[in-house]
Amino acid sequence: MTQTARDNVEMSDAATAKSPTFESIDPRTGEVVGQHPVHDATEVGALVAAAREAQSEWAELGFAERKQCLDAWRKLLSKRVDELAGVICAETGKPLDDARLELILVIDHLHWAAGNAEKVLRRRKVSAGVLMANQSATVEYLPFGVVGVIGPWNYPAFTPMGSIAYALAAGNAVVFKPSELTPGVGLWLADSFAEAVPEHPVFQLVTGFGETGAALCTSGVDKVAFTGSTATGKRVMAACAENLTPVLVECGGKDALIVDADADLGAAADAAVWGAMSNAGQTCIGVERVYVVDAVADRFLEMVTERAGKLRPGGEPSANFGPITMPSQVDVIRRHIDEALQRGGKALVGGQHSVRPPFVEPVVLTDVPEDCAAVTEETFGPTIVVQRVRDADEGVARANDSRYGLGAAVFSRARGVELARQLRTGMVSVNSVIAFAGVPALPFGGVGDSGFGRIHGADGLREFTRPQSVTRTRFRMPLNPMTFSRSKGTVRRLVRLVRLVRGR
């Protein structure tokens, strides 16, 4: 929870007995841009109950009618991209075009989730096998019921919509708790759904601080989809353990980009700088480390230095990126830069002076000891650490030497996919960065401290369902071992059969 938001809590007027409220603030100017209720556990419980009531009808609608509803919402979002982009800018400070880009992805994912839910989740026959040949076997993927979605502020629409769109398409209701820094974006999403699909109140919003998120975890929801920091992810899991509530945990990363000797260096430098600095580096799958093969390192570093050196943060539309949205992150960024430089690292662009809250200018570091926080911990700022390696295999080994494992990128002409497959991450882009996030059919998620479970794609739809297996007896088997009236020879004959068909 940020100091700013907490400081701005207004206690309710006792006479009207309303919830206390908090303010959302434009990080570029400090201007108040909205006021939202702080929902307590009772209010969260009531909204979860309302979502539950609406859910059964939503599930009964079936895939085709749900698709119509979600398509109506998608069309409304498409028409009003600029309106929602404006809210994103006001609450995160990012440039308008970056907010628009985020919404382009939201719309495409919503289209995919609604359009593919039936194919992925509908009831289908599976082979019953030789031993159970008298059974007809089917599996279908049924909605959990109510899914609690807890989101971060850095991509306040794209990130939670990776859960919301897929959970709704699968037939669930959703109760969404946006970050305390971006409640207005959450409100806009919930209001627009209610406008497009007024007859099905299956998308409810709760706002407030961490306590509201914690209340959602223990509210009796049937699954929690959390996206945020690893530390909070652990707290969410602990809270969900109380009721054995299943969780999806999408956490931070320390993504590496590997540049092989045969890489297109211009493209690699472009991608490294964009991957590290866009959105002021506040991207879970942003590039934080680069391992470049020694033979091309000098040339690559020149290109990165030249490109990063031209970038300017600011609050105006022409700025390359905006401010650090969460004020407390500035101290983390400063600490990482300071330690790297004190321990012998070199700054090729920027340095300690680059941290000028609420903005941080681009910082390119090199030759940083591998155990520095700038190499091991998520920095979440417009900084990048470029390290030389003997060859791409050493780059892979160093990239994998991390407790995180979210995304990665490889630039190589000959060995791109081969190197990608050796990386211990949930996603890799070859000869680009972040491309996997824009492909709706691809599952998105990490390993290790980056969390587990998947949003997006068929796996992302199944994540919000419980598989139900059904067998139906078609005829009686001559050999039935599952009765007390079986003959003495039944099991022996079955052993002979299993040896015949499975023992060879």
Q: Is 180 in the site for ligand NDP (CB under 6 A)?
A: yes
Report the DSSP pairing between strands 451-452 and 247-250: antiparallel
Q: Is 336 in the site for ligand NDP (CB under 6 A)?
A: no
Asked whether the beta carbons of 311 and 273 are under 8 A apart, the reply is yes
Task: Find the shortest distance in angstroms from Cβ 209 to ligand NDP.
Answer: 4
Task: Find the shortest distance in angstroms from Cβ 455 to ligand NDP.
Answer: 7
143, 151, 416, 443: which one contacts ligand NDP (CB under 6 A)? 151
34, 93, 152, 405: which one contacts ligand NDP (CB under 6 A)? 152
The CB density around residue 3, as the number of other CB atoms within 10 Å, is: 10
Q: Is 235 in the site for ligand NDP (CB under 6 A)?
A: yes
60 has catalytic annotation = no
Give per-residue burial for 312-346: e unless 16+ CB within 10 Å, then b: ebebeeebbbbbbbbbebbebbbebbeebbeeebe
250 has catalytic annotation = yes
Task: Find the shortest distance in angstroms from Cβ 276 to ligand NDP.
Answer: 14
213, 275, 440, 443: which one contacts ligand NDP (CB under 6 A)? 213
| The amino acid at 44 | V
84, 217, 419, 427: which one contacts ligand NDP (CB under 6 A)? 217
The stretch near ligand NDP (CB under 6 A) out of 49-57, 195-203, 221-229, 414-422 is 221-229
Q: Is 406 in the site for ligand NDP (CB under 6 A)?
A: yes
77, 269, 284, 389: which one contacts ligand NDP (CB under 6 A)? 284
Give the footprint of ligand NDP on residues 349-368 (CB under 6 A).
none
Task: Find the shortest distance in angstroms from Cβ 242 to ligand NDP.
Answer: 12
Three-state SS at 117: helix
| The amino acid at 355 | V
The CB density around residue 372, as the number of other CB atoms within 10 Å, is: 20
String marking each residue 18-57 x if it binds ligand NDP according to CB under 6 A: ----------------------------------------
The H or E element containing residue 42 is helix 41-61
Q: Is 102 in the site for ligand NDP (CB under 6 A)?
A: no
- Own/partner contacts of 300-306, CB < 8 Å, gap of 24 or more, are 300/259, 300/265, 300/268, 300/269, 300/386, 301/348, 301/364, 301/366, 301/386, 303/265, 303/266, 303/269, 304/269, 304/272, 304/273, 304/348, 304/349, 304/364, 304/384, 304/386, 305/348, 305/349, 305/364
Asked whether the beta carbons of 306 and 318 are under 8 A apart, the reply is no
Give the footprint of ligand NDP on residues 242-261 (CB under 6 A).
250-253
Give per-residue burial for 396-423: e unless 16+ CB within 10 Å, then b: bebbeebebbbbbbbbbeebbeebbebb
Give the footprint of ligand NDP on residues 367-386 (CB under 6 A).
378
Q: Is 279 in the site for ligand NDP (CB under 6 A)?
A: no
Three-state SS at 3: helix
C-alpha 361/C-alpha 96 separation (Å) is: 19
Count, residues near ligand NDP per rule CB under 6 A: 30
Asked whether the beta carbons of 179 and 156 are under 8 A apart, the reply is yes
Q: Is 159 in the site for ligand NDP (CB under 6 A)?
A: yes
Q: What angle in degrees, to the nearest 10, is found between the helix axes of 63-79 and 158-169?
A: 150
The stretch near ligand NDP (CB under 6 A) out of 76-84, 148-156, 255-263, 363-371 is 148-156
C-alpha 254/C-alpha 404 separation (Å) is: 6
The stretch near ligand NDP (CB under 6 A) out of 68-76, 96-104, 193-201, 222-230 is 222-230
Pick 145 or 152: Cβ nearer ligand NDP: 152
| The amino acid at 290 | V
Q: Is 209 in the site for ligand NDP (CB under 6 A)?
A: yes
Q: Is 416 in the site for ligand NDP (CB under 6 A)?
A: no
The stretch near ligand NDP (CB under 6 A) out of 84-92, 130-138, 153-161, 459-467 is 153-161
Task: Find the shortest distance in angstroms from Cβ 196 to ligand NDP.
Answer: 24
Q: What's the 3-state SS for 64-112? A: HHHHHHHHHHHHHHHHCHHHHHHHHHHHHCCCHHHHHHHHHHHHHHHHH
- Own/partner contacts of 9-15, CB < 8 Å, gap of 24 or more, are 9/38, 10/35
Pick 39 or 67: Cβ nearer ligand NDP: 39
94, 177, 415, 454: which one contacts ligand NDP (CB under 6 A)? 177
Task: Choose the catalytic residue: 217, 284, 378, 463.
Answer: 284
Residue nearest to ligand NDP (CB): 213
48, 84, 150, 297: which one contacts ligand NDP (CB under 6 A)? 150
Pick 150 or 268: Cβ nearer ligand NDP: 150
Query: Is the peptide bond prior to 317 cis by the omega test (within 30 degrees of 0)?
Result: no
C-alpha 72/C-alpha 194 separation (Å) is: 11
Pick 204 or 412: Cβ nearer ligand NDP: 204
Binding site for ligand NDP (CB under 6 A): 1, 150-155, 159, 177, 179-180, 209-210, 213-214, 217, 227-229, 232, 235-236, 250-253, 284, 326, 378, 406
Task: Enumerate the active-site residues.
Answer: 250, 284
